[in-house]
Amino acid sequence: MSVRWFSRLLGHPLPRSSAGDERLPNIQALPILSSDALSSVAYATEAALGILILGGSAALKLSLPITLAIIALIVIVVLSYRQAIAAYPNGGGSYVVARDNLGRNVGLVAAAALLIDYALTAAVSLMAGTQALSSLDPTLLPYEVPIALVLLVLVGWANLRGVKEAGRVFAIPTYAFVLMIALLTVAGLRDLTFHHGWHPDPPPLTAALEPIGLFMILRAFSSGCSAMTGIEAIANGVKVFREPAPVNARKTLLVMAVLLSAMFFAVSGMGFMYGIAPNPDITVLAQIGQRVFGNGSVLYWTLQITTLLILVLAANTAFSGFPRLAAMLAEDRCLPMQMNLLGDRLVYQNGIGVLLGITALIIVICRGDTTVAVNLYALGVFTAFTLSQLGLVRRWWMQRGPGWRGRMLMNALGSLTTFVVLVVIVVSKFDEGAWTVVIAIPLLVWGLAVIRRRYRQIFAALAPDPDAAPLQVVPRDPPTGHHAIVWIPSMMRPAFEAVRYACSFADSVTAVVVVQNDQDAGHLSQMWDRYVGPNTGALELVLLDSPFSSLLDPFCDFVTAAEQRHPERITTVVMPVAIPRDRLDVALLNQRARALFEALSDDQSRVFSIVRYFVPNGRDPAGSRSSGSME
């Protein structure tokens, strides 16, 4: 019942052949991958003003120059990432670029920064969305944390249902927010032209708490750079687009940059003209809406509701980027392999689940207040920006193809500017919480490196022994009537030990591998021929296709069909299980054989033989094997 209920909640499994259908046109990919960047318009200006107000009312006039400087930085970064997409058409995120051009360890730094940034992005977006809601109804202020958690569950559920489902859910609110900012801008220009006049209102008088100096300006600039979070998501998510994916991704990135720059400048400009100052009870964008649309008007309420929706949906950028990055790290053996498994809806559901847990923890710790989190999450994204563009500089220098000088200079400029911003953020925000990220990134890099090193040890210990005795079934007279079907999760030593054990008691042995693509099939056949030899009548290898993400269902169906074809013989299902000795190995090893045993035990009585292979703990020269049968 629980499996059936879960299937209804997330939708029926999608076949792998429909993965191409899950790719999105530009008009749907834009809201999925750009909602974070576009939604930053709702709080980036306020973040800069929140620092400038410390210098008194007179300091607020610096918001426009700071906004223009940030827009210039947006242009540089976007042009650099367009080059990254061209260089890496399958996804040119910071981790891939840094890993390929600057080395694996530097790539881990970029990956750690992005993982932290994605988690903070999801939390900040949801908490900011609840603040937009409480600006409409102050009675909701005590309930911001539970509201944010409920919204988090809804966003996670939409992403677990698949990319196409998420695109349908998120498209309308994102475009509605863009439309409302456009209406706000047009109405503001009309008011400034025909009623208000182009003379800025003085902001409310506020005494200066700090002198206006370069350090304060840099702090305000670094806070306003929160408008740049999410820019990399399109470069990371090239595979989301329909073909030609790189071309469509570059176009969408350009559209996103134009929209972001125009909206950011419009909000900052109207805030300056209307003398808007930060207010703890109402957001800057809401204050502008009240001045332009009128307090309590339908358009004002619509602005706040669409702001709430896009801030909530901005968390989707993290839910799109975090699982994909985690899957790449798992493929490189820097995270548990389970993070690279596609769910029934063709999404990395384990990565989504991990992000749900981390985001919920951040929301609870911050108590729904974005103040601390906003100061943190720009640090990770600018670390990734800098390393990605520095990697492209080295790439163009090494390749020296046509036009390489112009490309290299563009990325060098981008790397230099983002590095300067990174230093500014670290220095100006260190006492405000940035020190936690400065410590967290090296710790996370160390953890990723430890996992990578342990995987190397495990795979070296479990690698097939080329000097082992040949595997063959010894003819028995008279025959015992036993047939063994061996589950082969991978061509490693535990699997071959399971085949060897099956050959010791059965008249015939069938080793079964469920493959996901044709390339895997060819590689697996070559390894079988290398370590076992060609198929014989008594010992054969069978490769099964998996139309869906599940690798267990095809094997279960094969076992059932084999038993029905030959009811006269005794069929034993032999399954290798790698038994971890270290606590870390428990998370690193995928114990799919246990789930397979449960699946095969549901239908009818069967004979099972579990071949346990103990993984060396780093001190043992080799693993040990034991077997036991269950009926």
pLDDT digits (tens, 9 = 90+) for 186-195: 999 999 998 8
Per-residue pLDDT reduced to its tens digit, 346-391: 678 888 889 999 999 988 887 766 666 766 767 888 888 889 889 9
d(CA 220, CA 459): 50
CB 224 within 8 A of CB 45: yes
- pLDDT tens digits along 570-610: 888 898 888 887 777 777 776 677 777 777 776 666 788 88
pLDDT at 292: 92
Q: For the sheet containing 508-515, what is the strand order?
A: 539-545, 508-515, 482-487, 570-579, 607-614, 624-630
Contact indicator for 249, 32 with CB cutoff of 8 Å = no
- pLDDT score at 273: 92
Question: What's the rounded Cα separation, in Å, for the pair 242 and 393?
Answer: 29
Q: Quick check: 629 pLDDT over 50? A: no
| pTM given for the model | 0.79
Q: Give the model's confidence band at 84: pLDDT under 50 very low, under 70 low, under 90 confident, else very high.
A: confident
3-state secondary structure 528-553: HHHHCCCCCCCEEEEEEECCCCCCHH
Top-level class of domain 482-630: alpha beta
Q: What is the mean pLDDT of residues 322-335?
A: 88
Residue 513, beta-bridge partner list: 543
Per-residue confidence (pLDDT) for residue 1, from 0 to 100: 40
Confidence class for position 67, pLDDT limits 50, 70, 90: very high
Judged against a pLDDT cut of 70, whether residue 10 lies above it is answered with: no
Give me the phi and psi of 628, to 5 degrees please: -155, 150
Radius of gyration of the chain from Cα atoms? 29
Poorest-pLDDT segment among 205-214, 536-545, 619-628: 619-628
- Determine the Cα–Cα distance for residues 243 and 425; give it in Å rounded to an integer: 38
Q: Is the pLDDT of residue 481 over 60?
A: yes
Q: Residue written as tokens 């596609």? A: 342
Contacts of 488 (CB under 8 A, 6+ apart): 495, 498, 499, 511, 512, 513, 541, 576
pLDDT of residue 477: 66
Contacts of 28 (CB under 8 A, 6+ apart): 164, 167, 168, 171
Domain ranges of the chain: 26-453, 482-630
**Residues 26-453, CATH architecture:** Up-down Bundle (1.20)
**What is the secondary structure of 224-250 as a DSSP string?**
HGGGGTTTTHHHHTGGGBPSSHHHHHH
Instruction: Determine the Cα–Cα distance for residues 238 and 248; give it in Å rounded to an integer.
Output: 8
What's the rounded mean pLDDT across residues 259-279? 92
Does residue 393 surpass a pLDDT of 80?
yes
pLDDT of residue 2: 45
Number of H helices, E strands in the chain: 22, 6
User: Per-residue pLDDT averaged across 105-133, rounded?
Assistant: 86
Residue type, 366: C
pLDDT tens for each residue of 209-224: 777 788 888 888 888 8
Of 10 and 536, which is predicted with more confidence?
Answer: 536
Residue 590 pLDDT: 67
Specify the higher pLDDT residue, 445 or 337.
Answer: 445
Q: Which amino acid is at 576?
A: P
Lowest-confidence region among 197-201, 227-231, 292-296, 366-370: 366-370
What is the SS3 assignment for 474? coil
Domains 26-453 and 482-630 are alike in CATH topology: no
Burial class (CB in 10 A: 0-12, 13-18, 19+), 557: exposed
Confidence of residue 299 (pLDDT cuts 50, 70, 90): very high
pLDDT category of residue 488 using cuts at 50, 70 and 90: confident
What does the pLDDT average to over 245-270? 92
pLDDT given for residue 33 in this prediction = 81
Indicate the residue type of 185: T
Range in 52-61, 341-350, 352-361 with the lowest mean pLDDT: 341-350
**Is the previous residue joined to 244 through a cis bond, with omega within 30 degrees of 0?**
yes
DSSP 196: I
Residue 174 region by backbone torsions, left for phi larger than 0, else alpha for psi between -120 and 50, else beta: alpha
433 or 145: which leads in pLDDT: 145
Q: Pairing relation of β-strands 607-614 and 624-630? A: antiparallel
